[in-house]
Structure 1
Amino acid sequence: MQSIAANLEAIREQIKAACIKAGRQPDSVRLIAVTKTKPAAQVKEALDAGQLEFGESYVQEFLEKSGDPILENSPIVWHFIGHLQSNKVRSIIDKVTLVHGIDKLSTAEELSKRAQQHNLQIDYLLEVNTSGESSKYGMPPDKLLSTAESLFKLPNITLRGLMTIASPDIESARREFRTLRLLLESLKKIAPHPQKLTELSMGMSGDFEAAINEGATMIRVGSSIFGWR
């Protein structure tokens, strides 16, 4: 089995090739290494290989891992990429750089409330259910624009873009990535500060090249770096 460092290098080369093919700059896509169910030692191994941005999906696991002594005083940039319940917001509010999994107004309101309490400015992405699958979280695409006005008014939090988890079928995934990109373009037209809407978090180990072709600015890769869970 290849090392985490070798896997990271291979992914970076794939990102570069996909960007060039799509006519984009390679540095326009950020790699978020997904470490859910993986131990802190593997996070450290990836960190030592130059990876700085990591994504976690489960609050309790994230709290334990981020507090592990092996990662103390490290320059890690944490993303929370899982579905976030309102009652869990307070646990992560001061520990993450970007929250990917906000999918309803009430959760955004809780994020805003906690950010105010901590005197923080928090960036977040809105998760959209582009596949329409009932098993997936995310705001329905047709609710996005009507909810946006309320989202834009919330203090201490800034909507930076959209996130989705696509269907396993690659052709369906391509359509869903395109849908997310078009939704972001529509959102910019009604946003008070459209220049802040810069992020599309989409694409994982099996489909990130298609996501890059459709405009992804962040891809979330776990198994191709760390192996299957």
Structure 2
Amino acid sequence: MPIDLEAYHLIREACNKNDAQLVAVSKTKPVELIQELFDAGQRDFGENYVQELVSKHGLLSPDIRWHFIGHLQSNKVKLIAPFVYLIHGIDSLRLLEEVNRQAAKLSKKIKCLLQVHIAAEDTKFGMDETELSACLQQVRERPEMFAHVEISGLMGMASFSDDESVVRKEFRTLKELSLRYPAGPILSMGMSGDYRLALEEGSNMLRIGSMLFGTR
């Protein structure tokens, strides 16, 4: 299935109107489709699986900004640290410490988003408010221990629900947390099924997959 360029330009227009950034979620999709979207002007791509990301990074343009948006295991950080642009799913202080450790070996800084659990489903990852507050406090109090990470904001995933009021409330919760616990300029929330609600509630980074690449 080819890229849906009509949908791509529609979402890009919505992003431009809301001063938001589009991350094209390319997990499980072949490099040919990623190349097609790259040729159309897209530069930010998100992957969920470390080995797949490493493979695609080696096959595609060095101008791509790779986002890791899945659940990241500490022992896999070293594989993406040399080239990853932004890690979305920092869901524990321990993981943040490991990213800092691997970045230090490379004498670089890695941008990260702290993932907050806002959905009703227990299957989704992320910190609760207490853990978020404690993590940010550790970073503030021990800056020398986190010199190689740059916390750039928050990320969250809403419930998989057809009830817009539920999804909107969860997005609003994350927006409120971003104001209560300033972590950086990025508020990453919203996917193919709920991106309009996310933009309305203050998202400035969307993660869009199926609308661009088709269902998996």
TM-score when scaled to structure 2?
0.92
Instruction: Provide the residue aligned with 1:228 in structure 2.
Output: 215
Q: Is the 8 A contact 1:105 1:151 kept in 2?
A: no
Gaps of 5+ in 1: 20-25, 189-193
Say if 2:56 is the partner of 1:65: yes
Structure 1 residues 85 and 2: CA distance shift in structure 2, 3 A? closer
For 2:197 and 2:120, locate their aligned partners in 1 and report how far apart those are by CA, in whole Å. Answer: 19
Deviations 1:11-55 (A, max 9, x none): 223445xx4xxxxxx4x1000000000011110000011111110
Superposed CA RMSD: 1.6
Instruction: Provide the residue aligned with 2:8 in structure 1.
Output: 8
Structure 1 residues 2 and 144: CA distance shift in structure 2, 3 A? same
For 1:47 and 1:5, locate their aligned partners in 2 and report how far apart those are by CA, in whole Å. Answer: 11
For 2:120 and 2:111, locate their aligned partners in 1 and report how far apart those are by CA, in whole Å. Answer: 26
Q: How many angstroms does 1:117 deviate by?
A: 0.7
Deviations 1:111-164 (A, max 9, x none): 011111110111100011112421111111232112211134312101111001
Structure 1 residues 149 and 42: CA distance shift in structure 2, 3 A? same
Q: Is the 8 A contact 1:203 1:219 kept in 2?
A: yes
Alignment length (residue pairs): 210
Q: How many angstroms does 1:186 deviate by?
A: 1.1
Q: How many angstroms does 1:219 deviate by?
A: 0.3
* 41-50 vs 4-13, which moves further: 4-13
Say if 2:74 is the partner of 1:86: yes
Superposition misfits of 4+ residues, deviation over 4 angstroms: none
TM-score when scaled to structure 1?
0.87
Q: Is the 8 A contact 1:5 1:45 kept in 2?
A: no
Instruction: Provide the residue aligned with 2:154 in structure 1.
Output: 162
Say if 2:40 is the partner of 1:46: no
Say if 2:175 is the partner of 1:181: yes
Gaps of 5+ in 2: none
Say if 2:106 is the partner of 1:118: yes
